[in-house]
A and B are shown apart, each in its own frame.
Chain A
Amino acid sequence: MKRRQAILGITLLGAGSVAFSGFKWISWYKKPDLVYIHSQKKLLAALAETIIPATDTPGAIDAGVPNFILKMVLENTLKVSQNRFIEGLKAVDPYSISRFGKSYIKCSRKEQNEVMRHFEKDGKPFEGIPGKVERKLIGNSFFTTLKEYTCVGYYTSMTGATQGLAYVFTPGHYTGCIPLFAGQKSWAIR
Chain B
Amino acid sequence: MTPIPVKNNGKELYTYDAIVVGSGISGGWAAKELCEQGLKTLVLERGRNVEHITDYPTSEKSAWEFPYRLSTVLQDRRQSPVQSSCPVYNEATKHFFVNDQEHPYIQEKPFSWIRGYQVGGRSLTWARQCYRLGELDFEANAKDGIAVDWPIRYREIEPWYDYVEKFVGISGQAEGIPHLPDSQFLPPMELNCVETHLKQQIRRHYKDRILTIGRVANLTRGWNGRGPCQHRNLCNRGCPFGGYFSSNSGTLPAAAHTGNLTLRPDSIVAEVLYDERKNRATGVRVIDAHTHEVTDYYARIIFLNASTIATASILLNSVSSRFPNGLGNSSDQVGRNLMDHFMMGGAQGEFEGFQDQYYSGRRPTGFYVPRFRNISPETRSKDYLRGFGYQGRGERAEWGELYRGTSGFGESLKATLATPGPWNVVMGAWGETLPYDDNRVTIDTQERDQWGLPLVRVNFKYRENEINMRPDIKNSAAEMLEKAGFKKVEKFYFDQPPGSAIHEMGTARMGRDPKTSVLNAFNQMHDVKNVYITDGSCMTSSACQNPSLTYMALTARACAHAVSEMKKLNL
Contacts and interface: CB of A to CB of B under 8 A. Distances in A.
Q: Do A and B interact with each other, yes or no? A: yes
Interface of A: 50-53, 55, 57, 68, 71-72, 75-78, 113, 116, 120, 147-148, 151-153, 155-158, 161, 164-165, 168-180, 184-190
A178 B413 CA distance: 25
Interface stretch (B153-161, B299-307, B404-412): B404-412
B569 interface: no
Nearest to A63: B64
Interface stretch (B48-56, B109-117, B414-422): B414-422
A172 B230 CA distance: 4
Contacts of A155: 399-400, 417
B410 A175 contact: no
Contacts of A152: 69, 71
Contacts of A189: 63, 233, 362
A165 B410 CA distance: 16
Given A179-B356, A185-B419, 16 more contacts: A50-B409, A51-B410, A151-B403, A155-B399, A155-B417, A165-B417, A171-B230, A171-B361, A174-B190, A174-B361, A175-B361, A177-B192, A177-B193, A177-B196, A178-B358, A186-B420
B67 interface: yes
B409 A153 contact: no
Contacts of A120: 407-409
B379 interface: no
17 contacts: A53-B410, A68-B69, A71-B68, A120-B408, A120-B409, A152-B71, A157-B69, A158-B64, A161-B64, A169-B232, A176-B192, A178-B360, A180-B356, A186-B421, A189-B63, A189-B233, A190-B400
B70 interface: yes
Contacts of B196: 176-177
A164 B192 contact: no
A76 B71 contact: yes
B89 to A, nearest CB: 15
Given A50-B410, A120-B407, A176 B191 contact: yes
A146 B420 CA distance: 23
A76 B355 CA distance: 37
Nearest to B192: A176
Given A55-B414, A72-B68, A156-B64, A174 B73 contact: no
Given A175-B360, A178-B358, A113 B71 contact: no
Contacts of B195: 176
Contact of A157 (B64, B190, B191, B356): B64
Nearest to B415: A55
B94 interface: no
B417 A186 contact: yes
Contacts of B167: none
A151 B404 CA distance: 10
A64 B69 CA distance: 13
Interface in B527-569: none
B399 A179 contact: no
B409 A147 contact: yes
Contacts of B419: 185-186
A78 B74 contact: yes
A147 B195 CA distance: 32
B193 A176 contact: yes
A78 B193 CA distance: 41
B72 to A, nearest CB: 8
Contact of B414 (A164, A176, A180): A164
Given A151-B399, A171-B231, A51 B362 contact: no
Interface string B345-361: 00000000001111111
B417 A77 contact: no
Contacts of B478: none
Nearest to A149: B71
